[in-house]
Amino acid sequence: MRILSGIQPSGKLHLGNYFGMMKPALELQDRGEVFLFIANYHALTSVTEPEKLRAATRDVALDFLACGLDPTRSVFFRQSDVPEVTELTWLLSVVTPMGLLERCHSYKDKIARGLSPNHGLFSYPVLMAADILAYQSDLVPVGQDQKQHLEVTRDIAAKFNLIYGPVFKMPEPMIREEVAVVPGLDGQKMSKSYNNHIELFGAEKETRARIMRIVTDSRPLEEPKDPDQCNVFALYRLFASPEERAQTEARYRAGGYGYGAAKKALADMVWERLEPFRRKRAELERDPAYVEEVLRAGAKRARAEIGRTLAAARRAMGLD
């Protein structure tokens, strides 16, 4: 089974990215061949400073390797090291109906947030379809917000295969229900663009301070509380073992457990559980040549794969 996912280097990664996409993708390393890439062509739609893009690309590389990406089993690369994907994007764009792209929420949201409605932003889902179809992916682990992009990918693949014959495999999204939408400090979807996020590798003081700002209701200490309605618990449960989770749920329901204590427990847990990742990341940071070598080797593998798909697509379309 081929599993593929990508993430944009457009800022520091946060707990929503980790639980929604990174962790599910990394767990699949035991079940199939995982392709993961840093979507820096996509990031150009929002990051216009070259130095910032370089730094964020390096950060994402370190983050994935620190969180358990195993380069001996998986293929990890920078999107721009495989420029063939832009050719495939063009081949797909000629079968992509305008209406399909016009309906995309993510495009409409980005415009509403003030990004310029340029062609790159509009055709973003076609590049994403090329990323996925290039490697004949079976499964694409993502958060809920990417679901529509997967539907667009499937529509494009179906249309291409109908016109030109069976070139592309139909990919399936994998959206884990319990982490489909990880809430942020205010209870909305955690996102760097809402500034309600908790960074995966933020400094301790900042991480604790942000956790203390999580929005709760005003129930007093003594009153029993519903863990399922609590933004603090929604994050706690992602880190906790089943026993820790049951214990804390019981505390909420019994009363006498205040939100201050719950936040402190969450902050301690976040800090402690991420410690091994932080250690690994610090190690990797001292060895940039190794990280570069991993990405280069990944790109080489990816180019061999996309080369086969592209040759088939070109042949099917009469470009050979």
Give the residue numbers annotated as catalytic, written as ranges: 110, 189, 192
- From the list 17-25, 125-133, 237-245, 268-276, the region that binds ligand ADP by CB under 6 A is 17-25
Report the C-alpha gap between 25 and 140 in whole angstroms.
8
Smallest gap from residue 175 Cβ to ligand ADP (A) = 8
Report the C-alpha gap between 17 and 143 in whole angstroms.
8
Which of 60, 190, 214, 313 is the binder for ligand ADP (CB under 6 A)?
190
DSSP notation for 31-44: TSEEEEEE-HHHHT
Radius of gyration of the chain, Cα coordinates, nearest whole angstrom: 21
**Residue 42 lies near ligand TRP (rule: CB under 6 A):** yes
How many residues bind to ligand ADP according to rule CB under 6 A?
18
Enumerate residues 220-249 that contact ligand ADP by CB under 6 A. Answer: none
Question: In angstroms, what CA-CA distances link 297 with 137, 190, 293, 294?
Answer: 19, 33, 6, 5
Residue 39 phi, psi (nearest 5): -80, 70
Q: Binding partner of residue 20 among ligand TRP, ligand ADP, none, CB under 5 to 8 Å per kind?
A: ligand ADP
Q: Binding partner of residue 128 among ligand ADP, ligand TRP, none, CB under 5 to 8 Å per kind?
A: ligand TRP
Residue of closest CB approach to ligand ADP: 20
How many residues bind to ligand TRP according to rule CB under 6 A?
14
- Mapping DSSP to helix (H, G, I), strand (E, B) and coil, where does residue 82 land? coil
Question: In angstroms, what CA-CA distances link 107 with 52, 89, 100, 115, 289?
Answer: 23, 17, 11, 9, 37
**Residue 145 lies near ligand ADP (rule: CB under 6 A):** yes
**Residue 6 lies near ligand TRP (rule: CB under 6 A):** yes
Q: Binding partner of residue 39 among ligand ADP, ligand TRP, none, CB under 5 to 8 Å per kind?
A: ligand TRP
Q: What is the 3-state secondary structure of 153-204? A: HHHHHHHHHHHHCCCCCCCEEECCHHHCCCECCCCCECCHHHCCCCECCCCH
Which of 89, 123, 146, 248 is the binder for ligand TRP (CB under 6 A)?
146
Report the C-alpha gap between 225 and 267 in whole angstroms.
19
Query: Contact positions toward ligand ADP, by CB under 6 A?
Result: 7-8, 16-17, 20-21, 142-143, 145-146, 179, 181-182, 189-193
Query: Contact positions toward ligand TRP, by CB under 6 A?
Result: 4-8, 39, 42, 128, 131-132, 140, 142, 146, 149
